Amino acid sequence: MPGLVQIKLCGQKPLVFTTQDVKRLRCDLHIVGALMGTLPRFPLQNSFFGLPLLLMPEETTLLIKKHFATWASGNTAWTFPNTPREQCQYKTFEYLWDQGLYVTAALKFGGDYLAYPSDPMQCHSQYIVTVRGDRDEPLLPRDIISMGRLATNVKKTCVISAPDASEQGVEVFSVQWAGF
């Protein structure tokens, strides 16, 4: 088993700086992150990015919790998750990851996460995941309809996640329009 992935905290941004660590994250641990650096030969373009790799808070927490990564320079100022909503987001992310899915942010699709059955460079996402931070928060029929219609229009299944009754895990429900 290779060594631990080194994560450097720059402000509140968790970054990975080596190609070996990025390869391990993507190939072995199905963690995607987002490349954010400029490429030395093409510094003035905005289409392709290089190192470092920016990790989502959920990815970072999972890697540290499961002992796949460590902080470079012994930095331990990481504070995610703090709020009940952040805890539900992390538990949802961990649940999806445990199912073998690759998980990325879904802001442009109106959800919290996109979930892919394999590497996002090889396939399209199958799910738009929306996290409900409070189990007792009302979910109106129009919300279910709008989430389901949006997901159907982009050929995905809508997944709604909320804390389970024990507040230790999450429950997930899918909404899919039949006949489309």
Question: How many residues in total does the chain contain?
Answer: 180
Query: Which of 13, 65, 66, 124 does the annotation list as catalytic?
Result: 124
Catalytic status, residue 30: no
CB burial readout 47-82, b (16+ within 10 A) else e: eebebbbbbbbbbbbbbbeeebbebeeeeeeeebbe
- Among residues 90, 102, 113, 116, the one annotated as catalytic is 116
Q: Verify whether residue 108 is a known catalytic residue.
A: no
120 burial (CB, 10 Å; 0-12 / 13-18 / 19+) is middle
Say whether 102 is catalytic.
no
Catalytic positions are 116, 124, 156
